[in-house]
Amino acid sequence: MPSTIQSLLPAPRSRLRRLLADLPLSIAVSAVLAIFIGLVSGHFIENLLVSIVIGLIAFTIVNGGRLLWWDRQSWGLREWAPFLALAVATAPVAHFTGLRIGGRLLGISTPTLAEYPTPGRMSMVLFTMLGTMMMIVLVKYRERVRRIEEEHAAARLRAEIIERQALQAQLRLLQAQIEPHMLFNTLANLQGLIAIDPDRASEMLDQLIQYLRATLSVSRAETTTLEQEFAAMQAYLGLMGVRMGERLAYRVELPLALGKARLPTMLLQPLVENAIVHGLEPKVDGGEIVVKAGVSGDSLVIEVRDTGLGLGQVHGRRGGGVGVSTTRERLEALYGEHATIILTPAPPQGTLARLTLPLETTA
């Protein structure tokens, strides 16, 4: 997981890129100091240019040394002592060099090395050193803020990865609750038929094999296509048709354009099973179940309609069975409020389960 998090975070910048990225800050600080000097001594334009040149030279040397030799998060005496020595040594070099370069750019005379040492210029050297230290402090503060932001980003990524892993585990558990439920019911019916009606038992076994062939290849995947899901429901309804005989009629309607739409695996079976177990099986003469898909705006709408006893006629039917509750939990975990399952009466008799979720198609 740490390697995954590191791969998602921005790659560390090279020392050269960090040095270049910090140069605008040195220009800004130098300009502020030039304004201060200009207010005191006049000659604002000349002071601004010379101050920026001096600041760039001093900052490049001192910050370059920091990045080469003392690029650590925390500093002790071993880092501060040589760093301050470098800043002290750099100040007169940067000030003298900056004066000479600025003079050439402005076309004005500048002192030679022999003429350079005067009390006024020495005070400017001290001013240069203090300004350079101010730049470094600002840079270190900005780096500290950036490091804290990256650590927070890594923590958020770690939390998101853990949450996603927990969600995937939860979805696998919910899916695992659906598959054995249906299989055990079928095997129990198959066991009962073997003794009293071997031919129907053999037919049910054939249908069970077809159903398993349609579902096992995709049952361990996180998503499937609507075409595959409807094929699985066709096999499941065929299996239930053997069990219920003429008491069950069914129809599956899937528009060709929606065949490649994607949805979570094994999402429809709980709705179909709920319609049969709670609606059609308790009814003496059975009934019909219709499964169809459509589009509403940017949502995929799947309806499971039955002509069974209807809501509230069988204990536990009003809110759906365990399968419907499990499907609700899966949808809530995957889509939040963007997916719903609604059970309503289907006049003249029966129940309509309407599933709505975001429409996603394969490339």
Give pLDDT, residue 28: 77
User: Of 30-34, 120-124, 180-184, 357-361, which range is least confident?
Assistant: 180-184
Strand, coil or helix: what is 224? strand
Report the DSSP pairing between strands 223-225 and 248-253. Answer: unpaired
> Does 168 score more than 70 pLDDT?
no
**Mean of pLDDT values over 341-363:** 88
H or E segment to which residue 351 belongs: strand 351-358
Q: How confident is the model at residue 356 (pLDDT cuts 50, 70, 90)?
A: very high
The least confident of 43-47, 138-142, 202-206, 235-239 is: 43-47
**Which of 10-14, 176-180, 274-278 has the highest mean predicted lDDT (pLDDT)?**
274-278
Residue 38 pLDDT: 62
**Between 320 and 1, whose confidence is greater?**
320
Q: Provide the pLDDT confidence category of residue 293 given band limits of 50, 70 and 90.
A: very high
CA angle 201, 320, 174 (to 5 degrees): 75
With a cut of 70, say whether residue 181 has pLDDT above it. Answer: no
Q: Which long-range contacts (CB under 8 A, 24 or more apart) does 253-259 make?
A: 253/290, 253/291, 253/292, 253/293, 254/226, 254/227, 254/230, 254/292, 254/293, 255/293, 255/294, 258/226, 258/293, 258/294, 258/295, 258/300, 259/225, 259/226, 259/227
Predicted TM-score (pTM) of this structure: 0.51
Share of the chain above pLDDT 90, in %: 16
Question: pLDDT digit string (tens) for 296-322?
Answer: 999 999 999 999 988 876 544 444 566
Can you tell me which residue has the tokens 């900056």?
A: 98
pLDDT tens profile 233-285: 888 898 888 888 889 999 999 999 999 999 888 788 888 988 988 889 889 89
C-alpha distances in angstroms, 323 versus 19, 181, 269, 288? 61, 9, 8, 20
* Band of pLDDT at residue 75, cut at 50, 70 and 90: confident
Q: Give the pLDDT band (50/70/90) at residue 3.
A: very low
SS3 content of the chain, % helix, strand, coil (to 5): 65, 15, 20
For residue 351, pLDDT beyond 80: yes
pLDDT digits (tens, 9 = 90+) for 201-245: 888 888 888 777 777 666 566 788 999 899 888 888 988 888 888
pLDDT band at 153 (very low <50, low <70, confident <90, very high): confident
Which pLDDT does position 260 carry in this prediction? 92
How high is the mean pLDDT of the chain? Answer: 78
Greater confidence (142 vs 4) lies with 142
As a whole number of angstroms, the distance between CA 301 and CA 293 comes to 6
By three-state DSSP, how is residue 154 classified? helix
Give pLDDT, residue 87: 82
Q: Each residue of 98-132: pLDDT tens digit?
A: 878 887 887 777 777 877 777 877 877 887 788 77
The whole-angstrom separation of Cα 142 and Cα 60 is 17
Average pLDDT over residues 183-205: 80
